[in-house]
């Protein structure tokens, strides 16, 4: 069974903290993605990666960075957490072939206080 | 820039009814369209994937259609059940990225 696993379901962090969200997939997928989901705004792409050490900005990269040192792991980093980064964060992966489906993790609900 | 719209935002139907969820997109240059289900506070579960060259896909009580030229897709759910209550999202793939609609929140009334 295919699996995308996010390291935490719930996180509470303080303003100004550096926050790491981890995502691991076991499907040997080339592509990995980080989205955030907010009521009324839907899912918005933060960053994606199509290979180890490669990354591309999505629609809302400001305040975030990413790291992909191994094919199976994609990390999202909030350099200095702010209250407007309180959100549901979703990781996804897919094969590089454009006719294949994407698989999502269970989500991380991050609250910044 | 691709825009994906799902109307209505919310829908309530009695158990047992057949129903249709709608998805429209502005740029027909897509590789595929995927329907997802999301339960409250959870991640997304893939339901159906339709390639750009296909017209429809079926899985159990679910049938999804795609009309790429008009920028529309529908998700048909037959004989609805309370367990179908969830938010349904469609997403279109262009190059590497998925662009999502904001979803339809479906409630099946027992």
* Residue A105 φ/ψ, nearest 5 degrees: -80, -175
Residue A97 pLDDT class (50, 70, 90 cuts) = confident
Q: Do A99 and B101 touch (CB under 8 A)?
A: no
**Nearest-by-Cβ selection for B46 from A31, A56, A103:** A103
What pLDDT digit, counting tens, does each position of A19-78 carry? 999 999 999 999 999 999 998 888 999 999 999 989 999 999 999 999 999 999 999 999
Q: Where are the beta strands (DSSP E) in chain A?
A: 4-6, 10-13, 19-25, 31-38, 42-49, 56-57, 64-70, 73-78, 87-94, 103-104, 108-112
* pLDDT given for residue B72 in this prediction: 97
Q: What is the mean pLDDT of chain B?
A: 95
Interchain CB contact of A39 with B (< 8 Å)? no
Distance to chain B for A104, nearest Cα, Å? 6
Q: Do B42 and A107 touch (CB under 8 A)?
A: yes
Q: Do B43 and A90 touch (CB under 8 A)?
A: yes
Q: Which residues numbered 27-86 in B keep a CB inside 8 Å of some CB on A?
A: 31-32, 34, 36, 41-46, 49, 51-52
Contact criterion met (CB below 8 Å) for A58 and A44: yes
Q: Do A50 and B96 touch (CB under 8 A)?
A: yes
| Residue of chain B minimizing CA distance to A110 | B41
Rounded Cα gap, residues A91 and B12, in angstroms: 30
What pLDDT digit, counting tens, does each position of B7-40 carry? 999 999 999 999 999 999 999 999 999 999 999 9
Rounded Cα gap, residues B102 and B5, in angstroms: 7
């Amino acid at each position: 069974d295919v699996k995308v696993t996010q390291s935490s379901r719930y996180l509470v962090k303080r303003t100004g903290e550096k926050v790491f969200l981890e995502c691991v997939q076991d499907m040997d997928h080339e592509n990995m993605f980080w989205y955030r989901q907010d009521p009324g705004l839907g899912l918005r792409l933060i960053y994606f990666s199509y290979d180890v050490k490669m990354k591309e900005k999505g629609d809302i990269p400001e305040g975030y960075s990413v790291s992909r040192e191994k094919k199976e792991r994609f990390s999202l980093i909030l350099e200095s957490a702010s209250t407007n980064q309180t959100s549901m964060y979703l990781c996804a992966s897919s094969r590089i072939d454009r006719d294949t489906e994407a698989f999502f993790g269970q989500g991380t609900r991050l609250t910044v206080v | 820039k691709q825009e994906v719209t799902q109307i209505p935002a919310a829908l309530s139907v009695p158990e047992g009814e057949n129903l249709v969820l709608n998805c429209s997109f502005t740029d027909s240059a897509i590789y595929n369209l995927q329907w997802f289900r999301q339960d409250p506070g959870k991640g997304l579960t893939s339901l159906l994937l339709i390639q750009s060259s296909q017209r429809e896909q079926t899985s159990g009580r679910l049938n999804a259609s795609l009309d790429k030229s008009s920028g529309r897709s529908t998700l048909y759910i037959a004989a609805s059940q309370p367990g179908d209550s969830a938010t349904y999202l469609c997403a279109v793939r262009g190059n590497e990225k998925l662009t999502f609609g904001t979803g339809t929140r479906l409630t099946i009334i027992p």
